[in-house]
């Protein structure tokens, strides 16, 4: 089983790169299942039905998310029409949508996806991600050996801890949220592929996908700024994980593609 995992999609430029590269990557590399964190697809902030429809047919099977999931005011209703869009499973009870699910890959096999959010240096209030991971991973592994986890978190330590915690219980634990890919991809002893952060689909001529000058103004003067999303210099960051029939990772590889 070959799984393509794409980092946070930022704005229109990010969506353009997904449409441009994902169908081609799927065909070239024999990708059977594709997950993308899309929490910044709607002009940098959250999801919308319109943006999800824009990506119809691009080849993403499941969208994950994080702290920006409810940024667009209609999305708490709209999410109900998109069973392939997940919000973190350890959000408080009563929030709409689902935090995990079992989905079909193109080879007919079932893949479980679990979305979690961290609690260190993140303003978003949530329940313990480790308790949620413990309970839900056991349930999901009864349905299928293939379990992909998106851990949307800020602190590298919390992310590595989650990878180690789920080693042998998940096929892969891949981090999102920072928009910066890390070079620590590896397979842990129990067979879990791990990377602290996959990166983003956004501008490499930016600060985390936003125009440089307004972000500099905020840092250098402390004055509020409007952080517009950059449309140029878009790079798609993704990671490919290969799994054996028992759901154990046999390889993990970072890739990137640049829009001209
Ligand atoms: Fe993000
Ligand atoms: Fe985030």
pLDDT, one tens digit per residue, over 46-88 is 999 999 999 999 999 999 999 999 999 999 999 999 999 999 9
Residue 237 CA: distances (Å) to CA of 72, 157, 234:
24, 22, 10
- Distance of CA 113 from the midpoint of ligand 1 (Å): 18
Strand-pair category, 193-195 with 200-203:
unpaired
Sign of CA dihedral 144, 150, 156, 158: negative
Q: Treating both helix axes as pointing N-terminal to C-terminal, what angle do 156-165 and 129-143 enclose, rounded to 10 degrees?
A: 40
Give distance in angstroms: CA of 159 to centre of ligand 2: 13
**Alpha helices, H only, 44-147:** 49-54, 75-78, 129-143
Q: What is the DSSP letter of 199?
A: -
Per the CB < 8 A criterion, the answer to whether 257 and 29 are in contact is no
What pLDDT shows up at residue 139? 98
Round to whole Å and give the CA distance between 60 and 44. 19
pLDDT digits (tens, 9 = 90+) for 191-238: 999 999 999 999 999 999 999 999 999 999 999 999 999 999 999 999
Counting residues of the chain whose pLDDT is more than 70, the rounded percentage is 100
Contact 51, 41 (CB under 8 A): yes
> CB of 97 within 8 A of CB of 87?
yes
- Residue 68 annotated as catalytic: yes
66 CA distance to ligand 2 middle (Å):
5
Q: Is residue 203 a contact partner of residue 227, using CB atoms and an 8 Å limit? A: no
Helix, strand, coil shares of the chain, percent, nearest 5, are 25, 30, 45
What structural domains does the chain harbor? Answer: 2-258 (3.60.21.10)
Q: What is the pTM of this model?
A: 0.98
Ligand nearest to the CA of 152: 2
Separation between Cα atoms, residue 136 and residue 174, nearest integer Å:
17
Task: Using alpha carbons, select from 230, 217, 260, 240 the residue that is nearest to residue 14.
Answer: 230
> Residue 176: which pLDDT band, with cuts at 50, 70 and 90?
very high
Query: Which pLDDT band, with edges at 50, 70 and 90, does 105 fall under?
Result: very high
Alpha carbon of 174 to ligand 1 centroid (Å): 14
Compute, in angstroms, the gap from residue 209 CA to the centroid of ligand 2: 12
């Amino acid at each position: 089983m070959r799984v393509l995992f794409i980092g946070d999609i930022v704005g229109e430029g990010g969506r353009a790169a997904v449409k441009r590269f994902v169908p081609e990557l799927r065909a070239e590399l024999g990708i059977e299942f594709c997950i993308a964190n899309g929490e910044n697809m709607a002009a940098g902030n959250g999801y919308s039905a319109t943006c999800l429809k824009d990506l119809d047919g691009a080849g993403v099977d499941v969208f994950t998310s994080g702290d920006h999931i409810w940024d667009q005011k209609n999305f708490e209703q709209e999410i109900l029409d998109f069973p392939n869009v997940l919000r973190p499973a350890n959000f408080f009870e009563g929030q709409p949508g689902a935090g995990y699910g079992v989905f079909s890959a193109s080879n007919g096999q079932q893949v479980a996806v679990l979305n979690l959010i961290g609690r260190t240096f993140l303003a978003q209030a949530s329940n313990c991600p480790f308790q949620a991971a413990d309970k839900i991973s056991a349930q999901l592994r009864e349905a299928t050996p293939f379990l992909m986890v998106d851990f949307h978190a800020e602190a590298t330590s919390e992310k590595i801890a989650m990878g180690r915690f789920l080693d042998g219980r998940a096929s892969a634990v891949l981090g999102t949220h920072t928009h910066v890919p890390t070079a620590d991809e590896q397979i842990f002893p129990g067979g879990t592929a791990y990377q602290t952060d996959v990166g983003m689909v956004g501008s490499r001529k930016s600060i985390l996908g936003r125009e440089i000058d307004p972000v500099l103004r905020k840092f250098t003067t402390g004055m509020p700024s409007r952080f517009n999303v950059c449309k140029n210099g878009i790079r798609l960051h993704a990671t490919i994980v290969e799994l054996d029939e028992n759901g154990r990772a046999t390889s993990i590889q970072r890739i990137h593609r640049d829009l001209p």
